[in-house]
Amino acid sequence: MPRSKNWSVLAGFAAGLTVMTALSGSAFADTTTLSFLVPSGEENVARAQSLVKAFEAANPDIKIDIDTRPGGAEGDNLIKTRLATGEMSDVFQYNSGSLFQAINPQQNLVDLSGEPWQADVQDIFKKVVTAPDGTLRGAPIGTGMGGGIYYNKKIYSDLGLQVPKTWAEFMANNAKIKAAGKIPVIQTFKDTWTSQLFVLGDFFNVNVAEPDFATKFTANQAKFATSPAAMKGFEHQADVFKAGYLNEDFGAATYDDGLRKLATGEGAHYPMLTFAIGAIKTTYPEHIDDVGFFAMPGDDAAKNGLTVWMPDGLYISGSSEHIDAAKTFAAFVASPAGCEAQTAALGATGPYMVKGCSLPKDVPGAVADLLPYFGENGAASPALEFVSPVKGPSLEQITVEVGSGIRSPADGAALYDEDVKKQAQQLGLPGW
């Protein structure tokens, strides 16, 4: 059975790591060695290596070994298992927001509320690493992201199109793009997680229409299926399919295919999180300036704004034997020097959550489009998963069905409401 197989692999993996840590610990008796677990993927590893290099140069008595773990649901499982068995690395990078709440931060993570650097961390980030008892358990690693729509600037200038602020404008653009023989909207349902942007990225617009949606949603009082504003995301997902605006191979295309189609101008729009800028920059450097970004269009042009994703948190495991050294590392990551090390590795991908961090002047076009939303007069709201711990695990399958015409938007929204119930019960929230 798949389940027991996974367990033994995990157990073996965990045991192997224990042996490794034990060996390396004795080899460097006078220096402290920390283990640092990051998600696999080029961006994460490059960032971690750059941070560790800069940190070790400044702190010669602390050495850091980087381990990687798979991302996605597989990674969630690994994190939970290692925390539960007390085999977690000293420091690790993991999502903030609802996934952070699911790893029982109060019990498993070291309290970082009293650290001096917390004064420089932006409040918007502090909220998403706050345990239920009100203590802060994480430091920001990486940059803030937006969830919206990438567009190909060449197609836009060739066809004389304007960046749309409303859904009607967006669909009008799509009609012109289709008439010009290009793919209006790229969808990549082989990687199911990429299908969620129309729904998740629309939360700014939901929040404008119903400011208390998140609170009520957490308390089991508001539902996607019965809130006209929240339903919009599912409807938009179905609209682009019904209008025939998707690439022909939308069911079999992958995330990488999507980036290729967007960067090379095969397709005009790709709904995605802005972290994809890093991948476009490394894979299609010659096309990086052809790619722009705008927030999910809503109903009212005057009230258009961006749904924002917070960066991951850096956490210290409660079972760590080197908590002081780990705290020194966390302080470095949440400092301007830490931001610089990250920029050195990846370039500018978005705004940092630490005051005093700056970005280079020369940023990719899509990042330049992103930054104003985060600025003083910007219109931005955190995604639902950062303001409510409730996030259903099956959204990506549901949006694939809605986006392939298998299920109606109303049905999809109702199904998602059922799906979140399990998560809420698992977290033991009141009212479910």
Partner 1 sequence: MTLATAAAAGRPSVPRRSVPTPYPTWFFLPAAVIYGVLFLFPTLASLFFSMTRWTLFNWTFIGFGNFIQFFKEPFLVGGLINTLIYAALTSGLKVVLGLLFGVLLTSEIWARDYLRSVVFFPVLVSTVGVGITFTVLMHPTEGLINESLALIGVRGPGWLTDPRLALISVALVDVWKGVGLATVIYIAGIVSIPRDYYEAARIDGANAMQRFWNITLPLARPATVTVVLLSLIGGLRSFDLIWSMTRGGPGFTSDVIASVIYKQYQAGFYGLSTAGNVVLFVLVALIIVPLSIFLNSRDVSR
Q: Give me the least distance between CB of 397 and partner 1, in Å please.
A: 5
Report CA-CA distances (Å) from 136 to 116, 354, 391. 12, 15, 21
**Smallest distance, partner 1 to C-beta of residue 80, A:** 5
Shortest Cβ 106–partner 1 spacing (Å): 10
Distance CA(321)–CA(24), nearest Å, equals 14
Smallest separation (angstroms) from partner 1 to the CB of 7:
9
Shorter beta-carbon distance to partner 1: residue 184 or 298: 184
CB 218 within 8 A of CB 389: yes
Q: Report the nearest approach of partner 1 to the CB of residue 245 (Å).
A: 17
Cα separation, 112 vs 313, in Å, equals 12
Amino acid at 199: V
The least distance separating partner 1 from the CB of residue 74, rounded to whole angstroms, comes to: 7
Residues 6+ apart with CB under 8 A from 367: 274, 277, 348, 349, 350, 359
Spatial CA neighbour of 32 closest among 327, 315, 319, 314? 327
Relative orientation angle of helices 255-263 and 276-283, to the nearest 10 degrees: 70
380 or 424, CB closer to partner 1? Answer: 424
Alpha helices in 264-364 (DSSP H): 276-283, 323-333, 336-346
In the bound complex, what is the minimum distance in angstroms from residue 130's beta carbon to partner 1?
18
Nearer to partner 1, 251 or 265 (CB): 251
Residues sharing a CB contact under 8 Å with residue 428, sequence separation 6 or more, in sequence order: none
Report the nearest approach of partner 1 to the CB of residue 399 (Å): 9
251 vs 378 by CB, closer to partner 1: 251
Distance (Å, whole) CA 23 – CA 10: 20
Q: By the criterion CB under 8 A, which residues form the site for partner 1?
A: 1-4, 6, 73-74, 76-77, 80-81, 83-84, 102, 104, 107-108, 189, 192, 248-252, 393-394, 397-398, 400-401, 404, 406-407, 415, 418, 422-423, 425-426, 428
Residue 259 burial (C-beta neighbours within 10 Å; 0-12, 13-18, 19+): buried
Shorter beta-carbon distance to partner 1: residue 122 or 404: 404
Task: For the CB of residue 66, give the shortest distance to partner 1 in the complex, in Å.
Answer: 25
Nearest CB to partner 1, comparing residues 63 and 178: 178
Answer positive or negative: Cα dihedral of 358, 362, 363, 366: positive
- Cβ closest to partner 1, residue 63 vs residue 80: 80
Residues 99-115 as b/e (b if ≥16 CB within 10 A, e otherwise) read: bbbbbbbeebbbebeeb
Q: What is the CA radius of gyration of the chain?
A: 22
- The nearer residue to partner 1, 106 or 166, going by C-beta atoms, is 106
* Closer of 80 and 178 to partner 1 (Cβ): 80
Question: Encoding tokens for residue 23?
Answer: 């060996």
What does the alpha-carbon distance between residue 185 and residue 262 come to, in Å, rounded to a whole number?
A: 9
Alpha carbon separation from 392 to 16, 201, 330, 405, 408 (Å, rounded): 33, 16, 31, 21, 18
